[in-house]
Structure 1
């Protein structure tokens, strides 16, 4: 397990939008690829293979605030010791992308309202993920990522194998401070999400 810490100091430029504080210049965000080398990636919003049917990220990146990145790296280290690793679907998401999602699918059970409180993704404190073997073999979780149906719900009565896979995923993530949500088995919010994080609307630096 290798870790590189990417840090920096930036000046916040914050304005009020509805009930949100929206920052165009973010607090320190960590590119998890430089912070930890042992993740797998399937960032579908950098492709057309997503429910939007369009590419909305210019490149494959996973950005998080440092506290969340550190906890996620610890969780991945734990999974690696068990013979698995984390595959990342999504991390920090700009508010502009959240608005596109809401326009296409305005259902607060699945998409955070960008004109209300937004998503924890917009704060760099949520991840969409699964686990795979160290050889990148997929574990059956009962539905595909971003499946907006009851099969994705955490209480859906799947087979024993799927239940065991999900239990492993959730128990390890909870151990490191992450909580799942009811409608999406792949989504985890960092438990310290309520400490005044601003909603961010910052494009990825793909240079």
Structure 2
């Protein structure tokens, strides 16, 4: 299969649906999986499909969440483990097309909170997920230290002081995600990278093209 040509930043970003399908057929682990179909009871709150995000306008046309197959399988194990605590996952964002990352960086202009286009994001590899917790029975969000995508020190994973309830939920999320191979980005309590993210390439495919 022909490799994508380097973009102006020297990155090889796969943007051909046909090439993606060929790659997924040869290497099933590289296939992106629809989380709503793969993980029972999973809640979606895809902020970038709405105007309720740091950009102020929708970045996606559809409220969907996708991850590479092994990442989705690991997240499914997280969901199952959380059930013992009466909790479940809510996904705010997962796979993000490279072009969306470029737009986000143009808005934020801060590498602490947005991946620059010359590096790309682990979201673009289908290996990062932004999550919070919900009450398993009601589906209502459980209190966390901040709202999703709050760009402040209070969003840091070790920030104090926070309420005892928020601290307990944050600790449960961090511990359970780590148990199944996810590494937290310490600047954002909600952001987790699959430990083997480097094995997967950058993608720029819309949800509709998947």
Q: In the alignment, what sits opposite 2:11?
A: 20
| Matched ranges for 1:14-163 at <5 A | 14-17=4-7, 18-25=9-16, 26=20, 27=24, 28-115=31-118, 117-134=119-136, 135-157=138-160, 158-163=162-167
- Alignment coverage as a number of residue pairs: 195
**Which structure dedicates a bigger proportion of its chain to helix?**
2
Matched, 1:169 2:166: no
Does the 8 Å contact 1:13/1:24 carry over to 2? no
Q: In the alignment, what sits opposite 1:7?
A: none
Structure 1: distance between partners of 2:37 and 2:140: 24
Does the 8 Å contact 1:12/1:23 carry over to 2? no
What is the Cα-based RMSD across aligned positions, in Å? 1.6
1:136-177 Cα offsets, whole Å, 9 max, x none, are: 122111110000001101121023222111100000000000
1:13 positional shift = 5.1
Can you give the 5+ residue segments of structure 2 that lack an aligned partner in the other structure? 25-30
**Which structure dedicates a bigger proportion of its chain to strand?**
1
Can you give the 5+ residue segments of structure 1 that lack an aligned partner in the other structure? 1-10
Query: Secondary structure of 2:132's match?
Result: strand
Structure 2: distance between partners of 1:176 and 1:66: 14
TM-score of the aligned structures, taking structure 1 as reference length: 0.89
Does the 8 Å contact 1:29/1:64 carry over to 2? yes
Query: Secondary structure of 1:163's match?
Result: helix
TM-score of the aligned structures, taking structure 2 as reference length: 0.88
1:12 positional shift = 6.4
Query: Secondary structure of 2:115's match?
Result: coil
